[in-house]
Amino acid sequence: MPIKVQDNLPAKNVLENENIFVMTESRATGQNIRPLEILILNLMPKKEETEVQLLRLLSNTPLQLNIKFLQMKSHISKNTEATHLKTFYNVFDDIKDLRFDGMIITGAPVELMDFEEVNYWEELTKVMEWSKHNVTSTFHICWGAQAGLYYHYGIKKHMLKEKLFGIYRHTKIYKHENLLRGFDDHFYAPHSRYTEVSRYDIEKVPDLNILSMSDKAGVYIVSGQGGKQFFVMGHSEYETDTLKNEYLRDIEKGIKIKIPENYFKNNNPKGEITAQWKAHSSLLYSNWLNYYVYQITPYDLYTGRAKTKK
């Protein structure tokens, strides 16, 4: 959360130059507080696992969040009980007349297919179009990020020679980017995908900025429209054993897969796992909620009235 100081305190300028968020007294006294409305479009097959992963990260903030889950009506989930979906999930018709402070669109195991071949693609595009006018900031993850870049900006994905699978070192490109406040210059994040988007294609779009790159994993975080959209190519939400479980699952299916890179101690699948990404993952979500949702969203979502003093 920001620190509040008097408007004319000299230290304010010093702190701001160090990319530390300082809220002036006049701004603080003019703020109204209410819970944030967050929508999670969960496209992952094991939805309950993804729910836990995301909620654990979202809860690491003093902000109060009201969470709604969304599923695709045009897709029948085979890995989540129908009773769970009926009890806890909405479809687009349920929420299309609502507005949200923030939205998360997860990844999905469909990256080997063309976007238009995915059975819920048309419905997903309706949601993404709707998000432009009904969501303050949308956070896209992995395949969801590739889908968002394709739909909003026409950027195509490209097949990799082999699956990118492991924990990779990333570099912070923008030193004064709010989403990366408190990040080390280099940090780690998990990836598990067969496709990528080209840095060259992204850099041709004026509305997009690449915030973080990896020498091995390529583009990691992209911002669009000044923070109204974020596209995160990896899985910062993954738990310590998620890649291990994916590895064992693929081995059991007879899929030729390499051991996740930089993951097991001594590269031994039976060895310990070194979790190198948890702190930065937590910071990534708390920064998004604070700087691009809470600090930006209007107090009244339906009239657009800003957070002003009553």
- Active-site positions? 142, 235, 237
Angle made by CA atoms 269, 274, 278, in degrees to the nearest 5: 130
**Strands 36-41 and 3-5, how do they pair?**
unpaired
7: its two tokens: 């408007």
Distance CA 71, CA 73 (A): 6
Distance CA 165, CA 168 (A): 9
Distance CA 146, CA 111 (A): 9
Distance CA 160, CA 259 (A): 17
Distance CA 208, CA 202 (A): 7
